[in-house]
A = this chain, B = another copy of it.
């Protein structure tokens, strides 16, 4: 692994690790909004899963000789800003945020992982491949919107806002941290960037559709 590439890997795993730790704490809080113990248990289990991802990335960073706290620190501001500007106001919003937000982030990390060494790529695929297991979210959201038409349009709007905020924080991270960008510069032409964005958007629309919402 060349030096600049290693720096990019550490930065990428740093933001991913902090994102998982933050997701753990936020989802554990969201769990308190569940209307019953079954929902609360399911949400808490999701939070614990995010903590497991966090641990895997931290171990990988340590094994690579990197300091996990130092790798995460530069991204605390952007990740916290995202969550502060997208604090769910109720349980349905919390569920959509987890399904749509985690899904979008996972797709993004897997796209970038294509440019990394196979070992790091495997780790990211493993950690980001699990968001689909939160499948209790889909039937729960669908049954809620089936019983409440205005909820569906509110949640559709919410899904669009989530992606807007995520993209604006991603831009901030990219602007402040060169290594990740440099990884792709010279290897990616503008058309490929366009295709990547199209893939991310398509998958986002697909997830919104699975929830019964308009992207």
State the number of copies, please. 2
Task: Give a binary string over A31-47; 1 marks a CB under 8 Å from any B CB, 0 the rest.
Answer: 11000111011001101
> Does A106 have its Cβ within 8 Å of any Cβ on chain B?
no
> Does A109 have its Cβ within 8 Å of any Cβ on chain B?
no
A residues engaging B (CB < 8 A)? Answer: 18, 21, 24-25, 28-29, 31-32, 36-38, 40-41, 44-45, 47-48, 51, 54, 58, 68-69, 72-73, 76
Name the B residues within 8 Å of A54 (CB-CB).
Answer: 44
Q: Cα distance A73–B51 when bound, in Å? A: 27
- Binding site secondary structure of chain A: helix
Contact A28 B24 (CB under 8 A): yes
14 A–B pairs (Cβ distance < 8 Å), ordered by A: A18-B37, A21-B37, A21-B44, A24-B44, A25-B28, A25-B29, A25-B32, A25-B44, A28-B47, A37-B68, A37-B76, A41-B58, A44-B51, A44-B54
Given contacts A28-B47, A37-B69, A44-B54, could you give 18 more A-B pairs where the C-beta distance is less than 8 Å?
Answer: A18-B37, A21-B37, A21-B41, A21-B44, A24-B28, A24-B44, A25-B28, A25-B29, A25-B31, A25-B32, A25-B40, A29-B29, A37-B76, A38-B69, A45-B51, A47-B51, A48-B48, A48-B51
Q: Cα distance A21–B41 when bound, in Å? A: 8
Name the B residues within 8 Å of A31 (CB-CB).
Answer: 25
